[in-house]
């Protein structure tokens, strides 16, 4: 079974983004970019399936600017076998990403696609579910445990009330939650090896997908700020303030 | 314009998140119909509750085993089957609808707008991006709208309606997934997303036992829900459904008490809209103090029992 893992290049999670003063977006010049943390978890899970003899090949794909190849290299250094870069400039919405991924899936014929549950930049939490819909495949979002059962899958999901376990008919779409695994760091020899692994260069045009955005971003603004309050000296003062000043007790 | 609001319920009672999403749905301006899809007897009761909500003009009920366990494929198929009669589809951004609605959107060839916090116009909404560090105003150019609602920012709609209840036309279950089991914590405490007060513990709690010994008694004294940071959940001190933050639950209670939580942006993303924030942390430079209305620099193992005690009197 081949496993396909879409990986997205996003602003590193340690960066506190700033809104551009003209309201056209957030400041992305010279900020550190990394692989979306949920996608690292997806790559790790695919690699574990391969190491357990359940997967034969791990292919990573990224849709984005030329620099997204760095994100693919990161996945290759972790141990993925090969990459596909679908070059796209500007705004590619989850629906368009899902349409491109559908075309990639049709060409690659994986038995499983593992995505992150959300990208930490747009926080949309859509792409995997949309891909499953377009392919007519089963889906399990927010996975905290994944087991292969022949060509089917058993997945435990993190839901609002606790945990839910479902069985998926393969081929299937799984999206990762934080506690699925802890991604490995790439070792230096593996980083060197990754440089020789193949990355297929594609463009959106190769897949004939219309990526015209459906959402028009009218403006991007700072959220309403919150000012630091006061420090209280002890528990008694805290209780007093909560009762008399804040009125919440 | 007619909007279909998909109701959140636990197959017995309607959830408060439905009332909040209804407020957003009503702001779109058209008629609002509510779909209650579930398994078993309780579905009827949830539908009756929905029919009483102010601003609802019709309730559709779909009852069947395919809807009993919140599987994405059959519920998405049902909503898509109903789609010709509607211009907009709205659901609260709970885990069930985060799972289902993008599937609906893709089947309708619509770009979903996730977790809106404000309706600016029927086709224009505000939504947070980058863990709430920026607020985007987006206008949807799709003919039909698919929207999930961040419920913490909308007031709950009240009662006062008396809508007709009808059976929804059925849709075939694609049969792609099956339910195996669940571990749902039964608790008498209020749910995080509707609690008026929340007490959360972080990595500083050090163990599951300390959560039970320090955080839970304080929460119970306040009638509060219990939350946790990701670090506390990852370490196994607290169950996953307690996680507050960018990738956990987003809450906005009247009072949020953060105990031994440093205040990482991913955590703040889930609680910074709380009305009053209290932080207890032994590090006076902890970032949590930058958003706290009342900060107490103290060792939690002393301060929390003292606070719990102080609330008795
Ligand atoms: C250079 C550039 C600039 C952009 N600027 C903006 C902007 O200013 N405003 C705006 O609204 N949008 C912008 N976008 C589009 C935005 O990134 C898309 O909405 C995004 O591709 C999908 O949304 P998401 O990541 O939140 O999806 P989610 O559904 O949250 O992503 C879930 C998962 O889908 C997979 N995935 C998502 N995207 C990709 C991808 N591109 N390649 C491979 N796998 C992927 C990953 O596994 C990810 O974990 C930009 C995109 C690019 C490439
Ligand atoms: C993709 C991604 C998603 C994430 N999503 C979330 C999320 O949804 N929610 C979330 O919370 N985090 C999330 N995080 C993690 C986040 O970055 C932080 O790592 C996490 O919030 C830290 O938890 P903490 O504050 O409990 O721990 P720490 O940062 O370790 O803070 C512990 C605090 O306790 C204080 N302390 C220690 N001992 C005592 C004592 N005896 N008395 C009083 N104070 C004490 C310390 O001074 C410190 O400030 C995410 C991270 C990533 C990368």
Q: Which atom in ligand 2 lies closest to the alpha carbon of residue B231?
A: 23
Give me the phi and psi of A42, to 5 degrees please. Answer: -65, -45
- Size of the A and B interface in Cβ pairs below 8 Å: 255
Q: How many residues does chain A have?
A: 249
pLDDT at B226: 98
Indicate whether B131 pLDDT > 90.
no
- Tell me: pLDDT of B313 over 70: no
Average pLDDT rounded to a whole number, residues B205-223: 97
The pTM assigned to this predicted structure is 0.90
Assess whether pLDDT exceeds 60 at residue B255. yes
The per-residue pLDDT for range A106-136, each reduced to its tens digit, is 999 999 999 999 988 888 899 999 999 999 9
Whether B90 shows a pLDDT value over 60: the answer reads: yes
Determine what percent of chain B is predicted with pLDDT higher than 70.
Answer: 100
The residues, any chain, with a CB within 8 Å of residue A53's CB and separated by 6 or more, are none
Please judge whether A215 and B289 are an interchain contact, meaning their C-beta atoms are less than 8 angstroms apart.
no
- Residues A12-25: tens digit of each pLDDT: 999 988 999 999 99
How far is the C-alpha of B44 from the C-alpha of B158, rounded, in Å?
19
DSSP helix, strand, coil percent of chain B (3-state; round to 5): 30, 30, 40
Contact B178/B207 with Cβ under 8 angstroms?
no
CA–centroid distance, residue A92 to ligand 1 (Å): 6
DSSP character string of A156-198: EEEETTEEEEEEEPSSEEEEE-TTS--PPPPPHHHHHHHTTS-
How far apart, in whole angstroms, are the C-alpha atoms of residue B237 and residue A130? Answer: 34
Of B134, B180, B310, the CB nearest to A19: B134
Mean pLDDT within B102-118: 97
Name the DSSP letter for residue B105: H
Which residues approach ligand 2 with their CB closer than 6 A? A 13, 37, 120; B 202-204, 229-232, 243-248, 260-262, 264, 266-267, 270, 281-283, 286, 299-301
Q: How far is B183 from chain A (nearest CA, A)?
A: 5
Residue B53 burial (CB count, 10 A): 26
Give the burial class of B254: count Cβ atoms within 10 A of its Cβ; 0-12 exposed, 13-18 middle, 19 or more buried.
middle
> Which residue of chain A is at minimal alpha-carbon distance from B114?
A124
Write down the ipTM of this complex. 0.93
Interface test mutation site (partner A, options B75, B98, B312, max chain A beta carbons within 10 A): B98
Mean pLDDT of B159-188: 93
Closest ligand to C-alpha of residue B305 is 2
- Residue spans of chain A under pLDDT 70: none
Mean pLDDT in chain B?
96
- B174 chain-A contacts, CB cut-off 8 A: 136
Q: Which of B95, B114, B137 sits opposite A218 (nearest CB)?
A: B137
How does pLDDT run across B35-85, given as a tens digit for each residue? 999 998 889 999 999 999 999 999 999 999 999 999 999 999 999 999 999
In this prediction, residue A146 carries a pLDDT of 98
Give the pLDDT of residue B256.
98
State the nearest Cα–Cα gap between A55 and chain B, in angstroms. Answer: 21
Distance from the alpha carbon of residue A168 to the mean position of ligand 1, in angstroms: 26
A192 in contact with B at a CB cutoff of 8 Å? no
């Amino acid at each position: 079974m081949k496993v396909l893992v879409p990986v997205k290049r996003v602003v590193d999670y340690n960066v506190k983004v700033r809104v551009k003063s003209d309201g056209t977006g957030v400041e992305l010049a010279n900020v550190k970019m990394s692989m979306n943390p949920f996608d690292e978890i997806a790559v790790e899970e695919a690699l574990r399936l391969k190491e357990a003899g359940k997967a034969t090949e791990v292919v990573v794909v990224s849709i984005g600017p030329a620099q997204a190849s760095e994100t693919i290299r990161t996945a290759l250094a972790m141990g993925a076998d090969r990459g596909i870069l679908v070059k796209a400039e500007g705004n590619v919405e989850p629906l368009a990403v899902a349409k491109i991924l559908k075309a990639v899936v049709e060409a690659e014929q994986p038995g499983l696609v593992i995505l992150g549950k959300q990208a930490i930049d747009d926080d949309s939490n859509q792409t995997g579910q949309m891909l499953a819909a377009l392919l007519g495949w089963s889906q399990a979002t927010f996975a905290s445990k994944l087991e292969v059962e022949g060509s089917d899958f058993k997945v435990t999901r993190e839901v609002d009330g606790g945990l839910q376990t479902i069985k998926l008919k393969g081929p299937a779409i799984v999206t990762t939650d934080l506690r699925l695994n802890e991604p490995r760091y790439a070792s230096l020899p593996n980083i060197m090896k990754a440089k020789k692994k193949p990355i297929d260069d594609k463009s959106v045009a190769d897949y004939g997908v219309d990526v015209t955005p459906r959402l028009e971003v009218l403006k991007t603004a700072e959220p309403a700020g919150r000012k630091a309050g006061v420090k209280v000296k002890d528990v008694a003062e805290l209780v007093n303030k909560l009762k008399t000043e804040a009125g919440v007790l | 314009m007619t909007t279909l609001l998909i109701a959140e319920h636990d197959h017995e009672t309607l959830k408060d998140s439905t009332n909040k999403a209804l407020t957003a749905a009503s702001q779109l301006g058209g008629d609002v119909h509510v779909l209650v899809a579930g398994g078993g007897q309780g579905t009827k009761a949830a539908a009756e509750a929905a029919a009483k909500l102010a601003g609802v003009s019709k309730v559709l009920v779909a009852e069947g085993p395919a809807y009993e366990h919140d599987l994405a494929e059959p519920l998405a198929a049902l909503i898509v089957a109903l789609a010709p009669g509607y211009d907009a589809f709205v659901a609260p951004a709970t885990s069930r609808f985060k799972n289902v609605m993008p599937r609906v959107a893709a089947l309708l060839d619509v770009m979903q707008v996730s977790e809106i916090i404000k309706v600016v116009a029927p086709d224009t909404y505000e939504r947070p991006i980058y863990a709430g560090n920026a607020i985007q105003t987006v206008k949807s150019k799709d003919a039909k709208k698919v929207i999930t609602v961040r419920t913490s920012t909308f007031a709950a709609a009240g009662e006062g309606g008396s809508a007709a209840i009808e059976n929804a036309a059925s849709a075939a279950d694609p049969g792609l997934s099956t339910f195996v089991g669940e571990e749902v914590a039964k608790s008498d405490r209020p749910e995080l997303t509707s609690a008026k007060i929340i007490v959360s513990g972080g990595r500083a709690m050090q163990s599951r036992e300390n959560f039970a010994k320090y955080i839970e008694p304080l929460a119970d004294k306040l009638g509060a829900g219990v939350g946790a940071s990701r670090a506390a959940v990852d370490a196994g001190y607290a169950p996953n459904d307690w996680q507050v933050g960018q990738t956990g639950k987003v809450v906005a209670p009247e009072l949020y008490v953060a105990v031994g939580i440093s205040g990482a942006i991913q955590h703040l993303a889930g609680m910074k809209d709380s009305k009053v924030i209290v932080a207890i942390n032994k590090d006076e430079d902890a970032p949590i103090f930058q958003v706290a209305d009342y900060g107490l620099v103290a060792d939690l193992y002393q301060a929390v029992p003292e606070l719990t005690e102080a609330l008795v009197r």
